């Protein structure tokens, strides 16, 4: 996994509540056996009109948002299915950070597994950012994970909160499976005890 | 020491170690695997030179992608076929128990787990699928994970987790004869919203929950994720124990008795506290129909399509307008005036034998409306066989419903069962998101009984009065 330290990038708005993972990456793109190449499916049903032509009102079809790295969202972002294809598709499109007032649990978690940073900010701060993005072409933000700050081009700093364990994993690009495997001893001890406590779970 | 909730007992029993910074290494007793969210996990395992720690604690089945028509000649869609082949190949390579497409036990992962006795009280169960919450009906801590975590569990049989908070949803009283677990959970989601329980584990309790069958409890826990909770749970009782007894993978003989005794101790202590409590009267719950594009956008069948103008919150108003626009509905329309084109009965929410029995009860001797295309998709091969033994397939087919092979089918429409643009569907599944059942398709979530009467009449009807108007 690539580490996430700082990111300066173009911000695009997605002003909808409850953006679900079926929208982020529709099912027809789930038939892959790979993690890459999913950008073609990103927000496909919102990006394209029923006849397949691009919907000019959607951010992905607007020149000013080409090269987006940070997505601004609303409450309950990433709800629905557990498909990790959702963060994979965002990442494949170049989006490494999503800022929203709240995220659905599984999506939130899946982001960290892929070197992406989901940032929770209060509603007011989000509203201000939506206004700024709307008003300023080429609006960029700088995210500093170590300092837990977002720097606005106007100069203000926004502080954000993040779980310290997730933060350190992201900063170092840590392989969490490797980490768990280091506790092989603890797992073996646990399994031996569990076998005595609940023997019916260990059919011979 | 104050008492513990069922969740705390199970969580506490699975802590391998507490890591720095408040993360827990949690042991996973059982792992269910399906074709869509696993190939990248197996590939990752291989690339890192790792192995599967406990293939015997794992069970795999193809379900999401499988056609529900005759599949004896293989799968026409090459990418679906490739995914299903990959699952089979990976399971053979790693020695993971696997139900193949032609195995009579094949079915939706959340139907076969309980059916096989793979799901037992007190366990932790995970699966790369958000509706893993279903298994919580047994007093199991069960939740959905992403593909990276699937890989983590395959390699270590553990997961790194932060402890969620708990919410008690207490439903007391007697549920109307015409309502079911589906109406309870839809009413709860409407009340608390689709993010209402984000960060929480739900425990459902109260006399109305106790009165539910295991199938009903599964329907209830299944849709916990639609309320934002990763898991929902119901304490095991004699109903649970009776359901498990004799299942192929359940303990037998003395081991079963010992297990059952332990399961009886799992329920929440009387002096335990929850972070939040929500109380509901079962009598207040009417048959539900969703009108929007989020499972919380629903109402009682005797109500009307809402008017966004009356909503003061800006974003909620816009979301409601967008939903009504997508759904092609006009404010103020009685729910019972909404005509439908398709009916889908099935899914991990309502594709079990009890659901089909109930649906067949209302379908018996009736005819599906001429405009409506209706299908019944059993949740598993065993559910299908059982239904056929009881003659339910005949009832459905005589009424004009299609009778299909087991799978996820039109719940997510990854297989050929897809709504056409603009089609309006009464569906017993769990998600009414835009395009969920096909691009431009419009989904209304309902119970199996409500789906059947809608199929017969061609529009939604209040089953409570409909039943009395029948000859
Ligand atoms: S039936 Fe639907 S919700 Fe359930 S596992 Fe299959 S696709 Fe997911």
The residue ranges of every structural domain in chain A are 6-173
Mean of pLDDT over chain B: 96
- When pLDDT is averaged across residues B349-370 and rounded to a whole number, the result is 98
Chain A 6-65, residues with CB within 8 Å of chain B CB atoms? 16-18, 20, 22-23, 26-28, 30-35, 45, 50
Q: Which of residues 1-30 of B touch A (CB under 8 A)?
A: 13, 16-17, 19-23, 25, 27, 29
d(CA B56, CA B9): 25
Closest chain A CA to residue B262: A198
Question: Is some CB atom of chain A closer than 8 A to the CB atom of B256?
Answer: yes
Contact status, residue B25 vs residue B16, Cβ threshold 8 Å: yes
Using CA atoms, how far residue A179 sits from A86, A146, A164, B155, B156, in Å, is: 25, 21, 16, 11, 10
In this structure, what token pair is assigned to residue B406?
Answer: 């087991």
Does the interface predicted TM-score (ipTM) exceed 0.90?
A: yes
- Alpha carbon of A58 to ligand 1 centroid (Å): 29
Please answer whether residues B144 and B132 qualify as being in contact, where contact means their C-beta atoms are separated by less than 8 angstroms: yes
Give the start-end residues of each E strand in B28-157: 30-33, 58-60, 124-127, 141-144
Using the predicted structure, report yes or no on whether residue B375 has a pLDDT greater than 70: yes
* Residue (of B385, B436, B387, B405) closest to B108 by Cα position: B405
Residue of the CA atom closest to atom 2 of ligand 1: B411
Which one of B147, B157, B167 would you mutate to disrupt binding with A, by most A Cβ within 10 Å of its Cβ? B147
pTM metric for this prediction: 0.96
Distance from CA of B283 to the nearest CA of A (A): 29
pLDDT along chain A (204 residues), means of 10: 95 97 94 92 93 93 97 97 96 98 97 97 97 97 98 95 94 93 97 96 84
**CA B110 to ligand 1: nearest atom:** 5
User: In angstroms, what separates the C-alpha of A65 from chain B's closest C-alpha?
Assistant: 23
Chain A segment 75-114 residues within 8 A of B by beta carbon are 75-76, 79-84, 87, 102-106, 109-110, 113-114
Mean pLDDT along residues B278-303: 98
Decide: B392 and B356 in contact? Cβ < 8 Å: yes
Q: Confirm or reject: Cβ of B203 under 6 Å from ligand 1.
A: no
B79 to chain A: which residues are within 8 Å by CB? 31-32
Nearest protein Cα to ligand 1, atom 6: B408
- Report pLDDT digits (tens) over B176-230: 999 999 999 999 999 999 999 999 999 999 999 999 999 999 999 999 999 999 9
Residues of B in contact with A33 (CB under 8 A): 39-40, 43, 82-83, 86
pLDDT tens readout for residues B5-48: 999 999 999 999 998 778 999 999 999 999 999 999 999 999 99
Do residues B425 and A36 touch, judged by C-beta distance below 8 A?
no
What's the CA gap between B202 and B127, in Å, rounded?
18
Span A6-173: which CATH code?
Answer: 3.20.19.10
């Amino acid at each position: 996994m690539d580490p996430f330290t700082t990111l300066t990038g173009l911000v695009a708005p997605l002003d909808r509540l409850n953006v679900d993972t079926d929208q982020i990456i529709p099912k027809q793109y789930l038939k892959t056996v790979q993690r890459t190449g999913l950008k073609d499916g990103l927000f496909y049903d919102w990006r394209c009109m029923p006849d397949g032509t691009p919907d000019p009102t959607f951010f992905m079809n607007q020149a000013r948002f080409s090269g987006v790295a940070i997505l601004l969202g609303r409450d309950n972002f990433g709800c629905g299915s557990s498909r990790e294809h959702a963060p994979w598709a965002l990442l494949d499109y170049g989006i490494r950070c999503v800022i929203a007032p709240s995220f659905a649990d599984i999506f939130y978690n899946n982001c960290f597994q892929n070197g992406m940073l989901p940032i929770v900010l209060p509603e007011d701060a989000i509203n201000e950012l939506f206004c700024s993005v709307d008003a300023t072409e080429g609006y960029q933000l700088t995210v500093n994970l170590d300092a837990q700050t977002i720097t606005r081009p106007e100069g203000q700093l926004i502080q954000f909160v993040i779980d310290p364990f997730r933060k350190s994993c992201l900063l170092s690009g840590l392989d969490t499976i490797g980490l768990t495997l280091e506790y092989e001893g603890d797992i073996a001890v646990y399994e031996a005890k569990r076998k005595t406590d609940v023997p019916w779970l260990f059919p011979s | 020491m104050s008492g513990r909730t069922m969740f705390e007992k199970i969580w506490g029993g699975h802590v391998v170690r507490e890591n720095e910074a408040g993360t827990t290494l949690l042991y996973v007793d059982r792992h269910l695997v399906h074709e869509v969210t696993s190939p990248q996990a197996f590939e990752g395992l291989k690339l890192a030179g790792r192995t599967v720690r406990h293939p015997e604690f794992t069970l795999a089945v193809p379900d999401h992608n499988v056609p529900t028509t005759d599949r004896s000649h293989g799968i026409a869609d090459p990418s679906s076929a490739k995914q299903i082949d990959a699952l089979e190949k990976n399971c053979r390579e790693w020695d993971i128990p696997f139900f193949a497409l032609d195995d009579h036990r094949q079915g939706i992962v959340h139907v076969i787990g309980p059916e096989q006795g793979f799901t037992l009280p007190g366990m932790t169960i995970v699966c790369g699928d958000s509706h893993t919450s279903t298994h919580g009906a047994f007093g199991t801590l069960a939740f959905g994970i992403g593909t990276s975590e699937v890989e983590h569990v395959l390699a270590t049989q553990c997961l790194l987790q932060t402890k969620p908070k708990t919410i008690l949803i207490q439903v007391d009283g007697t549920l109307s004869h015409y309502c079911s677990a589906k109406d309870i959970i839809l009413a709860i989601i409407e009340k608390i919203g689709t993010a209402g329980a984000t960060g929480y584990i739900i425990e459902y309790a109260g006399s109305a929950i106790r009165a539910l069958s295991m199938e009903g409890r599964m329907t209830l826990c299944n849709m916990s994720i639609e309320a934002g909770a990763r898991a929902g749970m119901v304490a095991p009782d004699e109903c649970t124990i009776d359901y498990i007894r004799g299942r192929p993978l359940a303990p037998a003989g003395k081991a079963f008795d010992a297990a059952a005794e332990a399961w009886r101790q799992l329920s929440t202590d009387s002096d335990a506290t929850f972070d939040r409590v929500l109380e509901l009267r079962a009598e207040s719950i009417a048959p539900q129909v969703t009108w929007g594009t989020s499972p919380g956008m629903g109402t009682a069948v005797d109500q009307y399509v809402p008017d966004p103008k009356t909503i003061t919150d800006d974003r909620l108003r816009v979301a409601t307008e967008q939903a009504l626009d997508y759904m092609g509905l006009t404010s103020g329309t009685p729910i019972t005036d909404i005509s439908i084109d398709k009916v889908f009965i099935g899914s991990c929410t309502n594709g079990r034998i009890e659901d089909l029995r109930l649906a067949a009860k209302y379908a018996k001797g009736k005819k599906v409306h001429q405009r409506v295309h209706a299908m019944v998709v059993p949740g598993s091969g065993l559910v299908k066989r059982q239904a056929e033994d009881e003659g339910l397939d005949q009832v459905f087919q005589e009424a004009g419903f299609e009778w299909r092979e087991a799978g996820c089918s039109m719940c997510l429409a990854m297989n050929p069962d897809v709504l056409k643009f603009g089609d309006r569907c009464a569906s017993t599944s769990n998600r009414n998101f835009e395009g969920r059942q096909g691009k431009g398709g419009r989904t209304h979530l309902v119970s199996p009984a409500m789906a059947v009467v809608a199929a017969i009449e061609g529009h939604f009807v209040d089953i409570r009065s409909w039943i009395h108007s029948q000859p």
